[in-house]
Structure 1
Amino acid sequence: MIRITELRLPIDHPPEAVEAAILQRLKIRSQDLIQTEVFKRSYDARKTATLAFIYTVDVSVKDEEAVLAKFTNDIHIRPSPDTSYHFLAQASALKAPDFLRPVVIGFGPCGIFAALLLAQMGFKPIVLERGKKVRERTQDTWGLWRKHVLNPESNVQFGEGGAGTFSDGKLYSQIKDPKFYGRKVIHEFVKAGAPAEITYVAKPHIGTFRLVGVVEKMRQEIIELGGEIRFSQKVIGFDIENEQIQGVKIEGHEDLKADHVVLALGHSARDTFAALHEAGVFMEAKPFSVGFRIEHPQSLIDKARLGPHAGNTLIGAADYKLVHHAKNGRTVYSFCMCPGGTVVAATSEPNRVVTNGMSQYSRNERNANAGIVVGITPEDYPGGPLAGIDFQREIESKAFELGGRTYEAPGQLVGDFLEGKPSIEFGSVIPSYQPGVHLTDLAASLPAYAIEAIREAIPAFEKQIPGFSMKDAVLTGVETRTSSPLRITRGPKLQSLNIKGLYPAGEGAGYAGGILSAGVDGIKVAEAVALDYLAS
């Protein structure tokens, strides 16, 4: 096939205009065009008055060699690269067919794709998930949002689908992906029922409610291929002998023997991190970020980003990405921006408050929200690999107190936050966080250097998005789980540095950030597990 890049069309073009533009670009007749597939579509908003879609398309034509010969000097017309996924191994090639089945701990995006790939390669994995099936955990999650009742083992963080289920379902990442693992992730989502457009739009997303059905279908495929998904099975210990994993200990169940274990824990499995540390698994503290969620009217963001095209249904709700380097040396940036979404309660531990952002596929809620967070390093929380967890817990406990000790979140109007005075009543922006927002002074919720940096950053962001520092915008605290506070370091074969057969993976191990990168890492680790089986 031939790939054409930088094919520009007006934002309101009719569907048939894509084929017409291809014919014109390649200087061929319609009967010479065999097949067209959109590989990518984005829009150029740098000049909002002339907003346009920019396409990358793959086409099949008659006499492809002759067509390419006409454009040898055109960098935008080239042979299409092979973006299909190719399995590296199959269990059928094993010399000893009676192998111990691989174990995957955790069934979030990383665990799902690690298990799915292992199943597709014939290794029949066993998945241990501490939480419940996705629909059951959804009910438990609503129990916190609507009734102030937290289930520590079934919530936004724990359960089938992982934390990504209660998010925007964003499937874009800045990872380098020369082997097109990301395409594999996206195609598996589509196969499981996600909208087909996620294969080509520039910033694909699925949305929370759609993710539920997608995750269920992926689980069913793993089972049909011989895998097992065991819910409500919490790993509490590890059997390690001679620097080799021998099995795992499960609360309320018999120990499970295993010599290949994937740690797809997610960033909030704090008790499992402690068990690994106690077992002597090498890990180290790493940087992460803390801050607040900020909410504005989505219409304000649309107008600032899209100008006269604000509200265009072909484009949808606008997003943003902001960075500010503060005078005190801290970096403040927007995190996990959710257009037309809601701020959600995301704690997994009693008497603590944590926020996150979520959107449905439609992205049509009144407010836009994003984390406004400050980068911190292990120098800010000295004390070893688990010190970052203690740092997070201290902030989350303080937020619980400031919110009134009812799982309501502490909040403050942006105008009051910048002036350093507590808020008393909401203005034009009504926060979306459930079970509710308790107005207060957020200055006590984070370290002074973080408050100072955020107070400097918000007016700076105003220069990029007019209205960003509007007085009635709402800050809701706290955002602490931007990424794992530690890394379970691994070597070149993706195994733990000091424990053979243990494969740290995804966000919890410090090797991913978001659904797409976590899924990609799950694939890479599954390949490493399969190759190790074949080598033994």
Structure 2
Amino acid sequence: MLRLTEIKLPLDHAAEELPAAICQRLGIKAKDLLEVSIYRRGYDARRRSRILLVYTVDVSVANEAAVAKRLAGDRHVGPTPDMAYTFVAQAPGGLQERPVVIGMGPCGLFAGLILAQMGFKPIILERGKAVRERTKDTWGLWRQSKLNPESNVQFGEGGAGTFSDGKLHTQIKDPKFHGRKVLTEFVKAGAPEEILYVSKPHIGTFRLVGMVEEMRGNIEALGGEVRFQSRVADFDIADGQVRGVILADGSRIETRHVVLAVGHSARDTFKAIYDRGVYVEAKPFSVGVRIEHPQSLIDTARLGPNAGHPILGAADYKLVHHASNGRAAYSFCMCPGGTVVAATSEENRVVTNGMSQYSRNERNANSGIVVSISPEKDYPGHPLAGIDFQRYWESRAFEAGGGTYAAPAQRVGDFLAGRPSTACGSVEPSYKPGVHWTDLSQCLPDFVVEALREALPAFAKQIKGFAMDDAVMTAIETRTSSPIRIKRGDDFQSINTRGLYPAGEGAGYAGGILSAGVDGIKVAEAVALDMTGGTASGGARGESTEW
């Protein structure tokens, strides 16, 4: 088959216009176009009055070799790559050791699934509860201000990505099409097939819950084992080799292969591995606020007269501003038609995040507006100092919110003017369990306040109304990414601890559902090869994206 890119058609084009455009591009007659498969569909909104759909398609044509030869110089036409997933190994009969996967977010879920599909019968340890029980606990915080530190937005089956927008796009390099394997498994588990071809696919929380359950069932049917409420408290490491893990109840599991896929908020686990001598280094992350606007404002600003078109859906945005104080302020984890949610995992701290359902039909758009920080400038001296930095400002936010898990909030107009807010305006905050109107400068670092006050008017030049007086800011967003990196080598193992495979967002090698799933696949392959005497490569630093 041939792959054609950059086929542009009007937003409301007729169905027959796509094959006609393909034939025109290839210089063939309609009867010679045998098959068409849409690989990707996005849109070009640079001219809001004339938005174009942009297609990448795979086609089968008569006399394909001749057509390909004739168009050899066309950079938009080439052979369709083989995207089929191939397992790197199969577990030998009689294999006694079972690999252990710690954490069942996207990374741990796919590491466990791939290992199970290769016959290694992994044991997956998840400190939180199964996804439906976890959902009830999470609603307990949102509706009743009752936090379960082991079952919440951060901990439990499905990981932090379950309570997010369910974004499935990433900027990582993926030459082996592992991302396609992730999307294919999601579709098999109940995701809509459109995630295979739309340019910015998403799923939403409600659909993710059922998908996670289906994938867990597949793992168990293949001989894998999932143990909930099984927190790993310690690691048995001797002579630079993992020999087992110790659970909080004192029980021990012997293994020489441990996938550490614990997410960015497993602070006690980070300390446990550091105390055991595993190499850990501090890494940059960002802190800031969640901002809410009417979704209609964002739709109009981004899509103009095409706002509300069913193909385009709720509009998103991506913004960045380099402030005069040397900091970068940028949008993060933008949730069209979503809500702001409580995302703390520790008592007496407030953390915010955003989520959307598949429909993205809530009245507000929300996004993190965050400011970059770094170990060198802001938390020097200790590999785990970023955790202390997060905790300090999360505690300040808890106090500023009134000490009830309400989030401190402020209208943008008041924030820019440097005065406290006392009530909402036309934009009603969506954060549950509620907000406390105040002055956010008391729970944000001074340099963050300075950068945000400069960035918001700058963003308004790109999106009209972005700095509107009544837009709502809630604090604090601190869990943008892991504050540490557990450095690994080309074999995906810790650089000083054999058998320990740091993986996903918590280890500093992913930044969203899709990239975490891809990293889980890569690490599972490395484990399988090591257990069968093969070799792996490509464990260099991953590219962080967003939830």
| Fold equivalence (TM over 0.5) | yes
Amino acid at match of 2:491: K
Distance in 2 (CA, whole Å) between partners of 1:202 and 1:61 is 25
Cα distance between partner residues in 1 of 2:61 and 2:272: 58
Q: Which letter maps to 2:149? A: P
Paired with 1:37 and 1:115, the residues of 2 have a C-alpha distance of 31
Q: Distance in 2 between the 1:473 and 1:184 partners?
A: 40
| Counterpart code for 2:393 | I
Look up the match of 2:304.
307
Q: Name the CA distance, whole Å, in 1 between partners of 2:43 and 2:421.
A: 39
Mapped to 1, the partners of 2:267 and 2:159 lie a distance apart of: 15
Matches of 1:104 and 1:292 in 2, distance apart? 33
Cα displacement (A) at 1:40: 0.6
Q: CA deviation at 1:48?
A: 1.3
Residue aligning to 2:352: 355
The one-letter code matched in structure 2 to 1:80 is T
SS at match of 2:325: coil
The equivalent residue for 1:504 is 502
After superposition, where does 1:505-520 map in structure 2 within 5 Å?
505-520=503-518
Report the counterpart of residue 443 of structure 1 in structure 2.
441
Whichever residue aligns with residue 277 of structure 2, its letter is: G
The 3-state SS of whatever aligns with 2:227 is strand
Q: How does 1:90-489 map to 2 (within 5 A)?
A: 90-92=90-92, 97-252=94-249, 254-379=251-376, 380-489=378-487
How far apart, in 2, do the equivalents of 1:99 and 1:122 lie? 12
**2:137 counterpart letter in structure 1:** D
CA deviation digits over 1:11-51, x for unaligned, max 9? 11233332232233333344433221111111001111211
Other structure's SS at 2:532 match: helix
Q: Which letter maps to 1:525?
A: V
Equivalent-residue separation in structure 2 for 1:253 and 1:65 (angstroms): 65
Structure-2 separation of matches of 1:104 and 1:17: 49
Deviation at 1:503, TM superposition (A): 0.3
TM-score of the superposition, structure 1-length normalised?
A: 0.98
Match of 1:55 in 2: 55
Q: Note the C-alpha offset of 1:73.
A: 2.6
| Partner Cα distance (1:98, 1:6) in 2 | 49
Deviation at 1:322, TM superposition (A): 0.6
Counterpart CA distance in 1 for 2:382 and 2:305 is 52
Moved more, 314-323 or 248-257: 248-257
- Give the CA deviation at 1:495: 0.4
> Cα distance, 1:253 vs. partner?
5.0
Residue matched to 1:533: 531
1:361-386 C-alpha deviation (Å, 9 max, x unpaired): 11111000000001001120123111
Deviant stretches of 4+, over 4 Å: none
Superposed displacement of residue 85, structure 1: 1.7
Provide the secondary structure at the position in 2 that maps to 1:57. strand
* Inter-partner Cα distance in structure 2 for 1:29 and 1:250: 66
Q: Which residue of 1 aligns with 2:539?
A: none
**Structure-2 separation of matches of 1:70 and 1:372:** 49
Tell me the amino acid that sits aligned with residue 286 of structure 2.
Answer: S
Query: 2:545 — aligned with what?
Result: none
Within 5 Å, which residues of 2 pair with 1:55-74? 55-74=55-74
**Whole-Å Cα distance in 1 between the matches of residues 4 and 502 of structure 2?**
39
Count residues in correspondence: 533
Partner Cα distance (1:441, 1:507) in 2: 32
C-alpha distance in structure 2 between counterparts of 1:353 and 1:417, whole Å: 19
Structural RMSD (CA): 1.1
- Name the SS for the 2:226 alignment partner: strand
**Aligned residue in 2 for 1:34:** 34
State the identity %: 69
SS of equivalent to 1:20: helix
1:6 alignment partner in structure 2? 6
The C-alpha deviation readout for 1:59-115, integer Å capped at 9, x for no partner, is: 1122211222332232222111112222111113x7xx3331000000000000101
**Residue in structure 2 matched with residue 80 of structure 1 by the alignment:** 80
Superimposed CA distance per residue, residues 482-534 of structure 1 (whole angstroms, 9 cap, x where no aligned partner):
00000111111110111110000000001110101111110110111011111
**After alignment, is 56-65 or 136-145 more displaced?**
56-65
Cross-structure match for 2:490:
492
Give the residue type in structure 2 aligned to 1:6: E
Shift of 1:251: 1.4
Instruction: Describe the superposition over 1:384-438 as per-residue Cα deviations: whole angstroms up to 9, x where unpaired.
Output: 1111111100100111111111100000000000000000111000010000011
How many angstroms apart in 2 are the aligned matches of 1:216 and 1:222?
Answer: 10
Cα distance, 1:150 vs structure 2? 0.4
- Taking the aligned partners of 2:286 and 2:221, their CA distance within structure 1 comes to 40
Deviation at 1:535, TM superposition (A): 1.4
1:46 is aligned to 46
Mapped partners of 1:141, 1:360: distance in 2: 16
- Secondary structure of the residue aligned to 2:474 is strand
- Which stretch shifts more, 75-84 or 303-312? 75-84
The letter of the residue matching 2:226 is I
Q: Which amino acid aligns with 1:18?
A: L
TM-score of the aligned structures, taking structure 2 as reference length = 0.96
Task: Please state how far the C-alpha of 1:191 moved relative to its aligned partner.
Answer: 1.1
Gap runs ≥5 in structure 1? none
Give the secondary structure class of the aligned counterpart of 2:182. Answer: helix
